[in-house]
Structure 1
Amino acid sequence: MAHKILLFMKRRPDLTVEAFRDYYETRHAPLAEKYSQGVTRYIRRYVDPQPHPETGTFTDGPDVITELWFDDEAIYRATLGYMTKSLMPDDIVADEANLFDRSSFRIATVVEHETDFGR
């Protein structure tokens, strides 16, 4: 069973979507890798908002949902405890200021259920 931590984050308002994604992939993700011991998958899911016929434009969501996957439950719990009680290392925090609206950060965990369509 995989354990996941989800990070919901918005880009700095002065960055274009393209600049945000490029910086995350070429600068921030490689920096974050050095602190990712025990992470088995590090996935960035970039959100492309779409209109809804009843509620309109999707403007209040994150620009990226980052997934940190763990096979080892003890490492997952330790990482989650650290992330929810401590600030990240100084070089990560400094780099995040180049990229994110840090006040938008949200952290969640998930319990997944999947429907098998038998296809």
Structure 2
Amino acid sequence: MFKAIALLTRKPGLTKEEFIDYYENNHAPLIAATFPSIIEYRRNYPDLAQVLRAKGTPDPHFDVITEMWFHDKAGYEDMLATHARPEVGDRIRADESNFLDQSKIIQFVTDERELPHS
């Protein structure tokens, strides 16, 4: 399996509830329909009322941790190639402008490890 993570920040002026509602009911279905190489697609919304942190650590500068799994690196590259097509990328960016601060989007691949089962 191959995994990518995106840290996304809501557009100024949107409440957390409006952000989640738009992502779940508009953007997530668009992504799922547009990129079939994504085999698992999770959105994690941090609950800062129940946070453990070192004293003085500020709140994070994102509103959701999005996880995307692919069968392999080729699946991830297929998603990137599809997104690079102007008609696709333009549609995704237009939808993002409804709820994301696009200047703060960050996406990266991970080297995910698990503890061995005993």
Structure 1: gaps (5+ residues): none
User: Which structure dedicates a bigger proportion of its chain to helix?
Assistant: 2
TM-score normalized with structure 2 length: 0.81
| Superposed CA RMSD | 2.3
Percent identity among equivalent residues? 35
- Once residues 81 and 89 of structure 1 are traced to their aligned partners in structure 2, the CA distance between those partners, rounded to angstroms, is 10
Q: Give the residue type in structure 2 aligned to 1:54.
A: K
Alignment partner, residue 55 of structure 1: 56
Runs of 4+ displaced beyond 3 Å: 80-83, 85-88
Residue of structure 2 in register with 1:78 after alignment: 78
Distance 1:51 1:99 in 2: 28
**Distance 1:34-1:27 versus aligned 2 partners, 3 A rule:** same
5+ residue gaps, structure 2, are none
CA–CA separation in structure 1 for the residues paired with 2:26 and 2:8: 16
Q: Which residue type is aligned with residue 8 of structure 2? A: M
Output the amino acid matched with 2:23.
Y
Tell me if structure 2 keeps the 8 A contact 1:5–1:80: no
* Alpha carbons 1:38, 1:72 under 8 Å: kept: no
Q: 1:75 to 1:53 in 2, by over 3 A?
A: closer
> Does the CA-based 8 Å contact 2:5-2:109 persist in structure 1?
yes
Mapped to 2, the partners of 1:51 and 1:113 lie a distance apart of 22
Partner of 1:108: 108
Change (3 A) 1:82 1:5: farther
Match of 2:31 in 1: 32
For 2:41, the equivalent position in structure 1 comes to 42
